Amino acid sequence: DLTFVGSEEPLVLGIVDEFKKAGLKIFGPNKTAAQLEGSKSFAKSILKEANVPTAAFSIVRSLSEARRALVKHDFPVVFKLDGLAAGKGVSVISSCKQAEDYIVNLYKNNSNTKLLIEEFMQGPEFSLFSLVGKNNTVVHTPIAQDHKRRFDGDKGPNTGGMGAYSPVAQISFAIIEKVIKSIVEPVLKVMQDKGNPFTGVLYTGLMLTKSGPKVIEFNVRFGDPEAQVVLPQLKGDFYQMIINLMDGRKPLIEWQKKKFIWLL
């Protein structure tokens, strides 16, 4: 009766468009809207248009462009490859030498690879999941915190996610409201105004910096493993909630309100 897509690759390849053509019911973004996850440069352009706070950035496609752009950034900087990378396309670069080695290696075959060079942000990270249906009807879930780096003490490289918990008591409700009003809603509005309304799960990855919450990235699905700590908090019927959203009816949804829950 309904297909709910779990992972990013089929979404970015356009499974929603194909299912709709075949008259099958499916919840998720179409191929263009899935670019919010599939292309970091697309996501940045939407963030800019929506006037949403995110790390300062440059997009480059060659060694000389990368060298020129690096002059404008302080170290550490963050390098991100443009396409899907299963959480492994991000490198924090702490010195000029490390940056030079990275870009020389990246462009050694005169490849045309798009590289995003980003300001390094600091602060606690958290994620908000917004289930978006017809006409931007939205349900927001409790927020979660993901732990991406390998090894004790966050000493290792980034992974797709080592573990997660939810809710995140140290992030106040006022901050979550600010994220909804000044980040999620403007992004959904820009997508709609461009004739490409977003439907599906919009996962906003955020950092609470000294100057307020800023977007790190978008995913267009529930996170793995975040789904496992967020979804058990739903009181009610998941299927019915999705069907209501798809019909543009705001479902009355309740989430558990304790500061923590045990999953046994």
Residues that bind ligand AMP (CB under 6 A): 55, 78, 80, 87, 90, 118-121, 125, 148, 158, 205, 216-217
CB under 5 to 8 A by kind: which of ligand AMP, ligand GLY, none does 78 bind? Answer: ligand AMP
Q: Is 23 exposed, middle or buried (0-12, 13-18, 19+ CB in 10 A)?
A: exposed
Residue 144 DSSP one-character state? B
Report how far residue 184's alpha carbon sits from residue 186's, in angstroms, rounded to the nearest whole number: 6
Q: Which is nearer to ligand GLY, 66 or 144 (CB)?
A: 144
3-state secondary structure of 95: coil
Residue 233 contacts residue 141 (beta carbons within 8 Å)? yes
Smallest gap, in angstroms, from Cβ of residue 223 to ligand GLY? 3
Give the position of tokens 């099958």. 24
Per rule CB under 6 A, is residue 82 in the interface with ligand GLY?
Answer: no
Beta-sheet pairing, 77-81 with 90-93: antiparallel
Tokens of 227: 């789904």
Smallest gap, in angstroms, from Cβ of residue 59 to ligand AMP? 14
Q: Which is nearer to ligand GLY, 62 or 159 (CB)?
A: 159
Q: Which is nearer to ligand AMP, 229 or 253 (CB)?
A: 229
Smallest gap, in angstroms, from Cβ of residue 161 to ligand GLY? 3
Smallest gap, in angstroms, from Cβ of residue 148 to ligand AMP? 5
Residue 97 DSSP one-character state? H
Per rule CB under 6 A, is residue 37 in the interface with ligand GLY?
Answer: no
Report how far residue 48's alpha carbon sits from residue 64's, in angstroms, rounded to the nearest whole number: 25
Which residues here bind ligand GLY, judged by CB under 6 A?
Answer: 87, 146, 160-161, 219, 223-224, 226
